[in-house]
Structure 1
Amino acid sequence: MPRIRDLKDQQLYRIDKTVDYGDLNHLLTKTADLAIIEEQWEYMMRVAISLKQKTAPAHVIVQRLTNSSPSDRLTKAFTNLGRIIKTEYILRYLTDKELRQTVQRQLNKGEYRHKLPRWIFFADQGEFTTGDYEEIMNKASSLSFVSNAILYWNTIKISDIVEQLRQQGEEIDDETLSHISLLPYKHVLPNGTYFIEDEEKG
């Protein structure tokens, strides 16, 4: 579930201009076109089935809809359906504290996922400085391999700690564990550890 950027600037749509939505009237300033959705519903279902059954690649369908003329009625139907779905989601997000907390937790996990590679890929600050495709792929594959190795190690260690605590009588439920990230990285030394011994003077 996404957190929508520039939430205060989002346009919200009503589905019936004659209905009084009370306190929401000043937010629902435009009306979605239900008629065109009903008109194109059969074709919209065909597109959905094609995507679900993978008989047509998603990028081909998106490209077709994106490049269609402004008068294309199927594209208009999808646009209006999207407006309704987006409006419903934004209203839920504004009024549902639990939903907002869920979205924030997912964002935090995603941020951890981005911070870990940046921590490992320390020399170039996480940036590829070459245009060579093969070198980029080698670096990306190596970075992915190391990231997954750290994730695996963290999972094993956290599982061991949880098991030890439970054996000691601590109550740790699965709901609590669902809030624990498996991507901490400050215990990882990206530069390695070097041991330098003074040479004995002869």
Structure 2
Amino acid sequence: MIRTVQLLRYLSDAPRRRRVTAATNKVESFNRFSQWIGFGNRGVIADNDPIAQGKTMKFNALLTNAVIFHNALDIAEIVRQLLEEGWEIDPEDLAHISPYLTEHINRFGEYSTHELGVQPEASDPKLGVDFTPLREQDLTAAGLDQAA
């Protein structure tokens, strides 16, 4: 009965369907990106040892998240440069940028490890873009902007 009620709510509520579809698309994009990162052995974990399988999955998750973090830092730096050059950045445009970028990654290349001990500069998490209108739009779409 609970499933039927949820299905009826889903079918009758267009904003809910859009939110569910958007969330599903984000999860699927992450999974495709993670599979692209873990390309060794075509993504098949051939080991029967549960501990080894867990290590493989954790390593892939760590590597995936590290690349996403690096991409997010690169995107933030580009946004900062554009703001410094006088460009106006629309928060709506930033909301559509994905950190699942792969074009700049050479999976089969040679990588140097001589810079592993170099301490990077601290990253400033602030972009100088006002996301308040997007938050208000999300609250309105979710029906959370009205007092109970």
What is the percent sequence identity of the aligned residues? 28
What whole-Å deviation, never above 9, does each CA across 1:135-194 have from its counterpart, x for those lacking one? 112211211111111011011000000111112121212222111111212322222238
- Pick closer, same or farther for the CA change 1:103–1:176 going to 2, 3 Å: farther
- Pick closer, same or farther for the CA change 1:142–1:151 going to 2, 3 Å: same
Question: SS state of the match for residue 43, structure 2?
Answer: coil
| Aligned-partner residue type, residue 87 of structure 1 | L
Paired residue for 2:7? 86
Please report the TM-score for the alignment, with normalisation by the length of structure 1. Answer: 0.49
Q: Match for 1:188 among 97, 105, 118?
A: 105
Q: Are 1:117 and 1:147, in contact at CA under 8 Å, matched by a contact in 2?
A: yes
Query: Which of the two has higher C-alpha Rg?
Result: 1
Q: Match for 2:64 among 135, 147, 161?
A: 147
What whole-Å deviation, never above 9, does each CA across 1:65-103 have from its counterpart, x for those lacking one? xxxxxxxxxxxxxx2x4422320221223xx5xx55544
Structure 1's unaligned 5+ residue stretches are: 1-78, 195-202
- Structure 2 residue 25 is the aligned partner of structure 1 residue 108: yes
What is the rounded CA distance, in whole Å, between the counterparts of 1:187 and 1:107 in structure 2? 26
Greater relative contact order (Cα 8 A, min sep 6): structure 1 or 2? 2
What is the rounded CA distance, in whole Å, between the counterparts of 2:10 and 2:60 in structure 1? 36
Instruction: Report matched runs for 1:15-164 at 5 Å.
Output: 79=1, 81-93=2-14, 100-164=17-81
Please report the TM-score for the alignment, with normalisation by the length of structure 2. Answer: 0.64
| Aligned-partner residue type, residue 104 of structure 2 | H
Count of aligned pairs: 111
Offset, 1:120: 1.9
What is the rounded CA distance, in whole Å, between the counterparts of 1:179 and 1:113 in structure 2? 14
- Pick closer, same or farther for the CA change 1:169–1:103 going to 2, 3 Å: farther
What is the rounded CA distance, in whole Å, between the counterparts of 2:105 and 2:67 in structure 1? 8
What is the rounded CA distance, in whole Å, between the counterparts of 2:42 and 2:27 in structure 1? 19
> Which range is displaced more, 115-124 or 140-149?
115-124
Alignment RMSD, CA only?
Answer: 2.1
Q: Are 1:120 and 1:143, in contact at CA under 8 Å, matched by a contact in 2?
A: yes
